[in-house]
Structure 1
Amino acid sequence: MDAGSISLLVLLLLVGYLATGTVIFVSIICVSLISLAAFLDFDAHRLGATLTRIMIRSSSSWELSAIPLFVWMGEIVFRSSLISKMFRGLSPVVGRLPGGLLHTNVIGCALFAAVSGSSAATTATVGKITLGELRDRGYDERLSVGSLAGAGTLGLLIPPSIVMIIYGLLANVSIIQLFAAGLLPGFLIATIYSGYVAARCIVKPQLAPRDGVPEVSGRAILDLWPIVVLIIVVLGSIYTGWATPSESAAIGVATALALTAIHGELSFKLIRESLIAAVPISCMICSILVAAAFLSTAMGFLHIPQDIARLIGGLNLSAAQLLLLLAVFYVLLGLLLDGISITVMTLPIILPLILAAGIDPIWFGVFLVIMVELGQMTPPVGFNLFILQGMSGVPILRVASAALPFFALMCLGVLLLTLFPDIALWLPSVLFQ
Structure 2
Amino acid sequence: MIGDPLVLALAMVGVMFVLLLSSTWIGFSLIGTGIAGLLMYDLNLPPTLSIWDKIGDLLANSMWNSMNSWALSALPLFVFMGEILYRTAISTKLLNGLVPWLTRIPGRLYHINVVACSLFAAVSGSSAATTATVGKITLDELTKRGYHKSLALGSLAGAGTMGFLIPPSLIMIIYGVLSDTSIGKLFIAGIIPGLILALLYSLYIISQSLLHPEYVPEEQEASYSWGQRLGLLREILPVFLLIALVLGGIYMGITTPTEAAAIGVVGALALALYFRNLTWESFKEACLAAVRTSAMICFIIAGAAFLSQIVGFVGIARALSEYIASLHLSPYVLILVIGIMYLFLGMILDGISIVVMTLPIVLPIVVQAGFTPLWFGIYLVFMVELSQITPPVGFSLFIIQHISQQDLPTILKATFPFFLIMIFMAVLVTLFPELVFYLPAKMVGG
User: Aligned residue for 2:121?
Assistant: 113
Separation of aligned partners in 2, 1:73 and 1:212: 38
- Equivalent pair of 2:15/2:36 in contact (CA under 8 Å): no
Partner of 1:365: 377
Aligned partner of 1:260 in structure 2 is: 272
Q: Which amino acid aligns with 1:324?
A: L
Distance 1:386 1:266, change over 3 A: closer
Q: Deviations over 1:214-253 (max 9, x none)?
A: 4431332211111111101000111111111011000000
**Aligned AA (2:272):** T
Map residues 30-429 of structure 1 onto 2, 5 A cutoff.
30-40=32-42, 43-209=51-217, 211=219, 213-216=221-224, 217=228, 218-429=230-441
- State the alpha-carbon separation in 2 of the partners of residues 49 and 57 from structure 1: 12
Deviation at 1:7, TM superposition (A): 1.0
SS of corresponding position for 1:224:
helix
Counterpart-to-counterpart distance in 1, 2:170 and 2:422: 20
Q: Is the 8 A contact 1:230 1:255 kept in 2?
A: yes
Q: 2:346·2:388 contact (CA, 8 Å) conserved in 1?
A: yes
Task: Provide the C-alpha distance between the structure 1 equivalents of 2:283 and 2:333, rounded to a whole number of angstroms.
Answer: 49
Shift of 1:46: 2.1
Maintained 8 Å contact 1:100/1:210: no
Output the CA distance in 1 between the equivalents of 2:18 and 2:279.
46
**CA distance in 1 between partners of 2:287 and 2:395 (Å):** 22
Aligned mates of 2:351, 2:304 — CA distance in 1: 13
How far does residue 53 in structure 1 lie from its aligned partner after superposition?
1.9
1:89 and 1:224 in contact (8 A); partners too: yes
Q: How many residues align?
A: 433
Letter in 2 for 1:29: I
Q: Distance in 2 between matches of 1:45 and 1:410?
A: 47
Inter-partner Cα distance in structure 2 for 1:414 and 1:30: 33
CA contact (8 A) 2:111 2:202 kept: yes
Q: 1:37 Cα shift?
A: 2.0
Residue type of the partner of 1:414?
A
Contact 1:113 1:155 in 2 (8 A): yes
Q: Which residue matches 1:10?
A: 12
Contact residue 8 and residue 40 of structure 2 kept, 8 A: no
1:164–1:175: 8 Å Cα contact kept in structure 2? yes
Counterpart CA distance in 2 for 1:298 and 1:153 is 32
| Rounded Cα–Cα distance in structure 2 between residues aligned with 1:285 and 1:40 | 32
The alignment's C-alpha RMSD in Å is: 1.1
Distance 1:214 1:168 in 2: 46
Partners of 1:206 and 1:337 lie apart in 2 by 38
Cα displacement (A) at 1:210:
5.3
Give 1:415 shift: 1.6
Identity within the alignment, %: 45
Q: 1:324 to 1:257 in 2, by over 3 A?
A: same
Greater displacement, 285-294 / 261-270: 261-270
Q: Distance in 2 between matches of 1:205 and 1:228?
A: 33
Give 1:431's aligned amino acid.
M
Distance 2:272 2:192 in 1: 29
The answer to whether the Cα contact below 8 Å between 2:153 and 2:414 also exists between their aligned partners in 1 is: yes
SS at match of 1:138: coil
Unaligned runs of 5+ in 2: 44-49
The 8 Å contact of residues 102 and 197 in structure 1, kept in 2 or not, is answered as: yes
Tell me the SS of whatever aligns to 2:390: coil
Residue aligning to 2:47 = none
Gaps of 5+ in 1: none
Q: CA deviation at 1:40?
A: 4.0
Q: Write out per-residue CA displacement over residues 87-146 of structure 1, whole angstroms, 9 at most, x where no aligned residue.
A: 000011112211111100001110000001111111101100000111111100000001
Q: Helix, strand or coil for the counterpart of 2:190? A: helix
Give the partner amino acid of 2:141.
E
Q: Shift in Å at residue 212 of structure 1?
A: 5.4
- Decide whether the 8 Å contact of 2:81 with 2:264 is kept in 1: yes
1:390 Cα offset (Å): 1.0
> What is the TM-score of this pair, normalised by structure 2?
0.95
The answer to whether the Cα contact below 8 Å between 1:95 and 1:210 also exists between their aligned partners in 2 is: no
SS of structure 1 residue aligned to 2:392: coil
- Asked if 1 retains the 8 angstrom alpha-carbon contact of 2:79 and 2:124, the reply is yes
CA contact (8 A) 1:91 1:214 kept: no
2: CA distance, partners of 1:188 / 1:254: 30
Answer whether contact 1:417 1:424 (CA < 8 A) is retained: yes
Equivalent residue number for residue 25 of structure 1:
27
> How far apart are 1:45 and its partner, in Å?
2.1
Output the amino acid matched with 1:221. Answer: L
* Distance across 1 between alignment mates of 2:290 and 2:219: 39
> For the Cα contact (< 8 Å) 2:331–2:370, is it kept in 1?
yes
Q: Which runs of 4+ in 1 moved over 6 A?
A: none
Aligned partners of 2:283, 2:254: CA distance in 1, in Å? Answer: 27
CA distance in structure 2 between the aligned counterparts of 1:78 and 1:152, rounded to whole angstroms: 14
More deviation, 266-275/205-214: 205-214
